[in-house]
Amino acid sequence: MNVTPRYLGRGSWLSRRDPRLLIICLACFVFAVIQVWDLRILALLALVAALYYRSARIPFRAVRLNWGYVLFFIGFVVLANTLITGGELRGFHEENLHIYVRLPLLNTPISAESTSYAAAQLFRFLSMAAFGFPIAFAIAPGDIGPTFARLGIPYKFAYGLDLTFRFVPSLAADMQTTIDAQRVRGYEWERIGRGPIGKLRRVVPLLVPVTINAIVGAEDTIDAMDLRGFGTGRRTWLRRLAFDRTDTLVLLGFVALLVGVTLISQLGYTRLWVPDVLIRLAP
């Protein structure tokens, strides 16, 4: 593991918080947002997520590719769920839907209700993604293991999570090193197709050396841990974590958010809401 995760949020307001706070806030927010289908409430939660993400001061240029993958995945999931459940929305019968059109072959109705459902899913997933990014980029790499350990997770799992965070950038660095080595040997990386098939063809010759390097690197890590007696006794952590007053206030705020959303959900105010403008568009 010769590469550490990118600490892009260094010096930001969120990076100065106790790293355990980021994990707990994410959990509170996720449990709150999954209870909501009302677009009006989801818009407010999305605003909270946007402000939270902004406080991490993560440069967009450094993570635009990550966001591209996230947006592609979210778009695919939302589209697939809309097509699959277009006529079987919870609490709505097909005869009560305000249908715009039916998709050919699938015969799935696209309606005001399914459009609201897709928008609600989009808000939910994007909000959760915005809360997840600071965990990867606004926690100091050396704090990942102690953070999970201080949350009560067994130290072996905590250390495993620490290594997992380090594995991805290390694998990316090995991939780039392998590409450079293949270029020196005459492999013309740029001349192979640029579409999805072309990109797949470019990667195929790199799979074996990258996989072998990953296995060798994992064995070296295992040997180093064995030499240091890992697993023979309870591990201690040099890094000490403590909540300050700001951390406590932020934590109480997110706990209150979770409790408040849970209460209004129990009262039935978080169900799917269909704007009148979408209903009026239906023939």
Do residues 189 and 203 touch, judged by C-beta distance below 8 A? no
What pLDDT shows up at residue 2?
46
Q: How confident is the model at residue 94 (pLDDT cuts 50, 70, 90)?
A: low
Whether residue 14 lies inside any domain: the answer is no
Q: Where does 55-104 have alpha helices with state H? A: 60-85
C-beta atoms surrounding 155 within 10 Å: 17
pLDDT, tens digit, 9 for 90 and up, residues 71-80: 999 999 888 8
Whether residue 5 lies inside any domain: the answer is no
Looking at per-residue pLDDT, the higher value among 212 and 30 belongs to: 30
Do residues 202 and 189 touch, judged by C-beta distance below 8 A? yes
Beta bridge mates, 99: 111
Whether residue 9 lies inside any domain: the answer is no
Q: How confident is the model at residue 200 (pLDDT cuts 50, 70, 90)?
A: low
Whether residue 4 lies inside any domain: the answer is no
Distance of CA 110 to the CA centre of its chain: 28
pLDDT at 163 > cutoff 60:
yes
Closest by alpha carbon to 13, among 247, 251, 219, 262? 247
Looking at per-residue pLDDT, the higher value among 45 and 183 belongs to: 45
Q: What is the mean pLDDT of the chain?
A: 82
Closest by alpha carbon to 143, among 2, 3, 5? 5
Number of domains in the chain: 1
What pLDDT shows up at residue 189?
63
pLDDT at 130 > cutoff 90:
yes
Q: How confident is the model at residue 164 (pLDDT cuts 50, 70, 90)?
A: confident
Q: Which amino acid is at 180?
A: D
pLDDT at 256 > cutoff 90:
yes
What pLDDT shows up at residue 1?
46
pLDDT, tens digit, 9 for 90 and up, residues 210-241: 788 778 877 887 788 777 777 777 777 777 88
Whether residue 213 lies inside any domain: the answer is yes
Find the domain containing 134 and state its range: 19-281
Looking at per-residue pLDDT, the higher value among 82 and 59 belongs to: 59
Whether residue 10 lies inside any domain: the answer is no
What pLDDT shows up at residue 224?
80
What does the pLDDT average to over 161-186? Answer: 76
What pLDDT shows up at residue 255?
96
- Count of CA atoms in the C-beta half-sphere (13 A) of 133: 28
Pair type for strands 99-102 and 109-111 = antiparallel
Indicate whether this model's pTM tops 0.75: yes
Distances (CA, A) of 186 to 179, 183, 201, 221: 11, 5, 16, 32
Whether residue 2 lies inside any domain: the answer is no
Q: How confident is the model at residue 153 (pLDDT cuts 50, 70, 90)?
A: confident
